[in-house]
Structure 1
Amino acid sequence: FQSLTFIKRAVLRFILNRQILIHRMAAAIMFAPGITFAPTEQQIFLQYLIPKIQENEAALVGSPITEFDIYDQDPISTEFPGHEFFPPDEYWYFVWRVPLSPSSSKPNRFIEDLVNDGKWKQTGKPKIIKLGNTVILGKRNTLDFVTVEEKKTGWRMYEYERILEAPLFQHMVVVHIFYRL
């Protein structure tokens, strides 16, 4: 089993390094008008989240994804910093999450804002994101922003996180936020 794990890690490392090289080359190219940021879920992990977790800043040069504390303010009254390649009313950020308590494995998603109190409420089951059929990259959580009265606001967020062995808490995630009626 150890040699199989070693081979999987070597293959994943090779693919990750290849994806980083492709990303660097793409960042250096001037995009034509009409091009929008639309990464695959695998690219979110391989080109953005994994390098960010590994503190590989060189791999993130030219990245349109920046850090933003979405859990510090409600999306209704927030002016999101965007990027020229983001589609209208869609945003991607690196977000540092904090647990509900020091021993909790669940993130604190409550927002106490002077304008709109609420929370990001998870809907449905997490989707497992794989590379091919065997290598698990992480999972995607779907969350809706709801008021304290549990009313949906139209704001939805996909939260991409690596899957760590319990009791480890994954602080850094990538989020994709968008508004839908």
Structure 2
Amino acid sequence: MSMVEKYNEKEQQEFVGFRFHPTEQELIRYCLGRNKVAKTSNKVLELEDKTDLYAKEPWRLTHTETEFFETNEWYYFVTRTGKSRKVKGETCEGRWKALGKLSNVVSEDKREVIGKKRSFSFYVKGESNPSGWTMTEFYTLDGGSFQNHVLCHLKGP
């Protein structure tokens, strides 16, 4: 489902020039926490569920093009089925390589940890330099079945 198809023409006019630039806290609390984990709907923002994010090369994924996001930038809900981020794609093999450790996302007042994040860069097998594609996975701290349900911020070169 498209992220902006939920609001009508009048509401779209109110959002002219608006871009989606959430903070890490907003991604955890409002996008991932409330909308996905709590299964409540946001009438303005409906992010897509992406089932093939780890199955295809990032440039082979179909992306919803909208003025809501910056060029070559998307957000998706993804259910991770395992720890491996290896990609056996149509044009090449590759992997999403972690850039550092899993880190905390803290509340605005810096008093509590509200989530976790990890950044990745896509490498084509046999290449020593990254492809230019990056991804950040955001996790909630609910400790339950949603540990494998992440919000991914994908950026192209």
Match of 2:136 among 133, 136, 158: 158
Q: Distance in 2 between matches of 1:82 and 1:53?
A: 25
Q: Is the 8 A contact 2:37 2:146 kept in 1?
A: no
Q: Distance in 2 between matches of 1:150 and 1:162?
A: 33
Indicate yes or no: 2:49 matched with 1:67: yes
Indicate yes or no: 2:61 matched with 1:83: no
- In the other structure, the counterpart of 1:127 is 103
Q: Distance in 2 between matches of 1:172 and 1:55?
A: 12
- In the other structure, the counterpart of 2:38 is 54
Indicate yes or no: 2:150 matched with 1:176: no
Tell me by how many angstroms 1:162 deviates: 1.8
Q: Distance in 1 between matches of 2:132 and 2:19?
A: 22
Report the TM-score, using the length of structure 2 for normalisation: 0.80
| Counterpart residue identity of residue 71, structure 2 | P
Runs (4 or more) in structure 1 with deviation over 4 Å come to: none
Aligned identity (percent) is 25
Aligned residue-pair number? 144
**152-161 vs 79-88, which moves further:** 79-88
Q: Is the 8 A contact 1:139 1:160 kept in 2?
A: yes
Report the TM-score, using the length of structure 1 for normalisation: 0.70
Measured at CA, do residues 178 and 31 of structure 1 come closer, stay the same or move farther in structure 2, by a change above 3 Å? farther
SS in 1 for 2:54: helix
SS in 2 for 1:49: helix
Measured at CA, do residues 35 and 169 of structure 1 come closer, stay the same or move farther in structure 2, by a change above 3 Å? closer
Tell me by how many angstroms 1:64 deviates: 4.1
Of structures 1 and 2, the one scoring higher in RCO (CA 8 A, sep 6+) is 2
Q: Is the 8 A contact 1:119 1:148 kept in 2?
A: yes
Query: Larger radius of gyration, structure 1 or 2?
Result: 1
Q: Is the 8 A contact 1:64 1:83 kept in 2?
A: no
Q: Distance in 2 between matches of 1:76 and 1:124?
A: 23
Tell me by how many angstroms 1:68 deviates: 1.2
Measured at CA, do residues 83 and 95 of structure 1 come closer, stay the same or move farther in structure 2, by a change above 3 Å? farther
Gaps of 5+ in 2: 1-10
| Counterpart residue identity of residue 62, structure 1 | V
Tell me by how many angstroms 1:170 deviates: 1.2
Gaps of 5+ in 1: 1-27, 100-106
